[in-house]
Amino acid sequence: FPVTIDMKMIKHGSVTLHGLDLLVDYYYIPSRRGTRDSLGVPLEPDEPEVVDIITVETFGGDDITHCLADRAFAEIENKLRSGDE
């Protein structure tokens, strides 16, 4: 029987957003290529990389997670994906 391994991990990173240095805790799931048959035809879909923010804090320890707009979350997630920390 197949064994499923949960690749979801909590990571910690730092990013600069509009000149403000932030500490970020987030779930990270790496992308995964779905299985292929012997001719390379997909048998299951590929899974994209996932970054899901848990908390965002200032270096002073203030939790600002609930103060951020969706656009700020998207910018932070893009920076974490690209390694632009």
28, 51 in Cβ contact below 8 A? yes
pLDDT in tens, 47-82: 888 899 999 999 999 999 999 999 999 999 999 988
pTM (2 d.p.): 0.74
Adjacent-strand bridge partners of 11: 26
Residue 84 has pLDDT above 90, yes or no: no
Helix, strand, coil proportions of the chain in percent (round to 5)? 20, 40, 40
**DSSP assignments along 48-66, one per residue:** --EEEEEEEEETTS-B-GG
**Nearest CA among 51, 57, 52, 54 for reference residue 23:** 57
